[in-house]
Amino acid sequence: MRKLLLLAFMPMACMLAKKTFAHSYKLIDSVKVVHVTDGNIDEWKIEKFETDPETKIQHCIDHDGENLYVAMKISDQLLQAKIMTQGMSLLIDKKGKKKEGAGIQFPVKVPINGLNRGGGGSDPKQIREKNASMMVFFKAFGLDNLEEEKLYVISQSGLVNINFGWDEADNMYIEYAVPFIFIGATASLNGKPLSIGWKIPESGGGSGGGSSAAASSTPNNVVATTTTRVVAVPAGSAPPTSNTSSRGGRGGGAGRGGGGFEAAQESSGRNSYVWTKYVLTF
């Protein structure tokens, strides 16, 4: 009788101890991969995403033994325009106190008069493509083993990896993979809540959520290119001339009637914040 009770209890104990992950894996060359930073969130469990009530940004966090993974979905196209033209910061506070001392600036704001970012007529598709072609760098601040004010390519082995894309409904997706070597030792982070947030600048030309990145410049040899469709920007030392992704995209609609990007060109000096907490367990 005691044996039967023990056997009945074991499945229940396993069920209670089971962790709930925000992923369902991708198969690459028959190998299970937790997340791939490709601007495609198919391997993320959509029911695990939280929605910020103010900006309506949806976001989710996950991790394995090596990386912190963050995914976000931005449906508002004016907000997309603000982020692409004014920049954004992913904030990581390992003390869980919503501090801005460490994080990643992506996109990195590019001065309008330097590269005419957001220019090129009133066609929303062309404007979005031009802005997306510039989004190939990130900056780090307050993170271990990364130089501040240095431009890093968004997809490079051994570094932070970032990618983005659009689906056919013009929802924008951004994925981050941040190795723990840049955040802290896993032993010291185990069981601790991280505060993860975004800072987005609000533009003076319209409503909608916002977050930020400090103003920065881009090397003079960076040339903006326009393609017929933008769904993701792959790794490279300079903006690509064509963009492909496993996620399809129509490309249009990034600025409402063409005015969205123009309205988002200048920041009002205010910032909007999106914050959440995530407990690391190794």
Where are the domains positioned within the chain? 37-279
Nearest-angstrom CA–CA distance, 6 and 123: 68
Which of 25-34, 40-49, 227-236 shows the lowest mean pLDDT across its residues?
Answer: 227-236
Taking only the tens place, the pLDDT of each residue in 159-169 is 999 999 999 99
Question: How large a percentage of the chain has pLDDT more than 70?
Answer: 61
Nearest-angstrom CA–CA distance, 22 and 70: 10
Q: Is residue 232 over pLDDT 70?
A: no
Average of per-residue pLDDT values in the chain: 74
Which of 23-37, 38-52, 101-115, 215-229 shows the lowest mean pLDDT across its residues?
Answer: 215-229
What is residue 274's predicted lDDT score, i.e. its pLDDT? 97
User: Could you give the maximum distance between any two Cα atoms of the chain, in Å?
Assistant: 80
Nearest-angstrom CA–CA distance, 276 and 157: 28
What is residue 250's predicted lDDT score, i.e. its pLDDT? 36
Residues in the chain: 282
171 or 235, which is more confident:
171
DSSP class of residue 120 equals: S
Taking only the tens place, the pLDDT of each residue in 80-108 is 999 999 999 999 999 999 999 999 999 99
Residues 6+ apart with CB under 8 A from 143: 92, 102, 103, 104, 182, 183
| CA dihedral sign of residues 267, 96, 135, 151 | positive
Q: Is residue 13 over pLDDT 90?
A: no
In the predicted model, what is the mean pLDDT of residues 215-234?
35
